[in-house]
A and B are shown apart, each in its own frame.
Chain A
Amino acid sequence: MGETATSEPTGPSRTAIDTALRSIMSDVLALDPEQVAEFDGDTGLFGHLPELDSMAVATLLTEMEDRLDIIIEDDDVDGEMLETYGALLAFAEAKVIEG
């Protein structure tokens, strides 16, 4: 995606991160963009979406690293960050700021 940290001195905006994350979810879970557009902060992910198995989670994290230009450490990955869309978005935002 075009929204990389290098394009703006302050890094991608919250909206840009949200857009990138929804696009990744659509690709990894093979869902229509319209379906993913309906995700809100409380939408359950791991344990709620049958498509989200271990391979899908691994692909999701690796795509997030690629498209958001962040590094996700082994220790960062826990059940909490994957529980809801809101939690995952908050995690991504924190990583981008940290980045």
Chain B
Amino acid sequence: MSRPLIIDWTACEGRGLCADLLPELIGQDKWGYPQSRSGRTVLVPPELERPARKAVHLCPRLALRLEADAKTRVTG
């Protein structure tokens, strides 16, 4: 299942590490802020969980959070 990657917009400063790590899911707007490729909440498929976790750890502003997968959340 895909896990939502939540961006804390009050903390984000558009440093761009997440876009470097997850180019499949995250692009950058013209000011460098992350932009979901799908236009909706960033959903991380299992095969991209490693770089997603790395993005959470390396974000200079601690602005990323990887949530439990959507299915578990609904039932839990």
Decide if A and B are genuine partners: no
Interface positions of A (Cβ within 8 A of B): none
